[in-house]
Structure formats: C-alpha cells, structure tokens
Amino acid sequence: MSLLPSPGVRLEDALIARALRLAAAARAVRLREEGLRARGSGAGFEFEGYREYQPGDDPREIDWDLLAREPERVAVRIRRSEQGALWQLLLDDSASMGLGARGKLQCAAELALTVAAWGLFEGANVTLAASSGARAPLAEQIGELPGVARWLESLVAQGGSQLPALSPKLRAQRVFVCSDFSLPTAALAGLVPRAGTRLLAVEILSPEEREPPEAGEWLLVDPESGAQRRLSASPDRAAEYRRALEARSQQLDQWTRATRGACVHLSAAASLEQGFASLRESLRR
C-alpha cells in the first residue's frame, strides 16, 4: 500500500467537459488574436493565419509584408498542411508526484487532459508518455479524449525520479513536460528538443513544498527512497529553504530559455482553469 497522500489520478466526467470547454475557448482566442480568416468552402484554400517564427521554420513562409508593418513580429504563415502536427505530453509519475492533499500527479493529469483536448481541437495528433515507461495510444480525434482520460487514470505515483526522453522517431511541433523537477538539471539532457519544436516545462509543487512552516518540527521524507529526517522549524530555516527552491526554479527557467522554450510554475492547489491560463500565457511569451 502506498504511504503517499495522493498517489493516484481520478478524472470525473465533469472534468472532461471542463477540459473541452477550455480547449475550445483557447482555439477561439487564437483564431481571433492571429486574425485568421474563416475557411473558404472551395477547394484549394490553404492559408489559415500566422504564428511566431521558430528556429527550423522554412524562411520562405515568413510574411515579409507583415514584418515591414510590425518589425517586432516575425511570423510565418499557417497553412492547411500543418493539420496533423504532433504534440507530445510527457508526465512525471515518480513517487514525489504523489505528495500534497491534491497530488501533483492529479494536477498534472488534469492539465495534460486539457492540453490534449486543445491539441485535438487544433487538428494536431497527441501522444502521451510517463516516466514509468507507460505510453498512451496516439490520439487523433476529439472522440478519443475519454480514452486519454482512462490512460491518465491508470498512472500511479511511484518509483524514482526520471523523465521520459523525447522519442527520436517523433517530430513534435510542441512538447509539454509536467513534473516537479526534483532532479538535477543534467537529467534534462534527454529533453533537448529538435529545431522547430517548442517545449514548455510545467513545474508543479504542492503548497506544503512552496510554503514550509516556520515553527514546530519538520519531518522530511524522501518519497522515493523512504529516508526520513526530523528538523526543528524556524523562520531562518524556512527562508533558506525558500531561497533554495527559488534557485532551483530559476535554474529551470534558464534551461528552458536555453532550449528556446518556456516554463510555468504552478501550485498543485491551483484550479484547472488557473493552471491552463498560466500555461497558455507562458506559450505567448
């Protein structure tokens, strides 16, 4: 039996409906913001709109007229041929993800379900993998979202800290990594994306991890090794801990910037709506 507070994942039907609403709204916002035209009914309509230029994009697709009008905006045309792009979702399901009243794995799974729905609404194919080695079947249609939810519900927080490496066989346009990143930055080497791939790291920490008590006693438990240590809490010790936590988060920010990606830091107590909004905002930077 697991001694972790929240090792499993439970996704109710109402949550799937919320994920679909958020995903549909995200697509609608993108269409408005990028000034996309309504698709023509005739054959041969290719142009769909614009998105930010990314390393690896074909320079011939840069809209030079738009660049002349808006020098700060380097954009490429989105065409119908980008339908069927691949989004990869990588989830950490190690033991530390089961910490907190609302487990970090639960938070990651809810967010992953919503991102999967968003990708499917955008016409992308979606693949999911967990650090335990579990992989979900490729999802290609919105109707497959309940199957994605069932796969997420099969995950259990257990085992050591690691992350699944990006598959060399898959050329993903977007990669989302949900983890508490309680591992050395060197362990992220397998996540360096290909040219043209946008990576978003989602760091999820429990409220207990983010704000330690300043009085009483701490019982520090490594959920993966079982090692325990008792410490007397104090304001100075709590401040030192917060500085160390902030340094780790800054290290993660630096790593994602170096890979031309982005990072978002979430509390496991945040609502799905709050977490998804933060994720989308990070992608726009």
Dist. CA 252–CA 55, nearest whole Å? 21
Of residues 271 and 76, the one with the higher pLDDT is: 271
Report domain extents, the chain. 27-82, 83-284
Q: What is the pLDDT of residues 12-24, one digit of tens each?
A: 889 999 999 999 9
Closest CA relative to residue 66, chosen from 47, 38, 42: 47
Q: What is the pTM (predicted TM-score) of this model?
A: 0.78
Model confidence band, residue 202 (pLDDT cutoffs 50, 70, 90): very high
Closest CA relative to residue 78, chosen from 95, 102, 58, 96: 58
Dist. CA 53–CA 76, nearest whole Å? 6
User: Could you give the 3-state DSSP secondary structure of residue 260?
Assistant: coil
Instruction: Please enumerate in sequence order all residues whose Cβ is within 8 A of that of 203, keeping only pairs 6 or more positions apart, or say none.
Output: 179, 180, 181, 249, 252, 263, 264, 265, 266
Model confidence band, residue 46 (pLDDT cutoffs 50, 70, 90): very low
pLDDT of residue 238: 87
Closest CA relative to residue 176, chosen from 124, 218, 249: 124
**Residue 116 phi/psi, 5° resolution?**
-60, -45
pLDDT of residue 40: 38
Q: Domain 83-284: which CATH class?
A: alpha beta
Instruction: Please enumerate in sequence order all residues whose Cβ is within 8 A of that of 190, keeping only pairs 6 or more positions apart, or say none.
Output: 163, 164, 165, 166
Q: What is the pLDDT of residues 48-88, one digit of tens each?
A: 556 677 766 667 667 777 777 777 778 776 554 346 789 99
What integer is the mean pLDDT of 160-165?
68
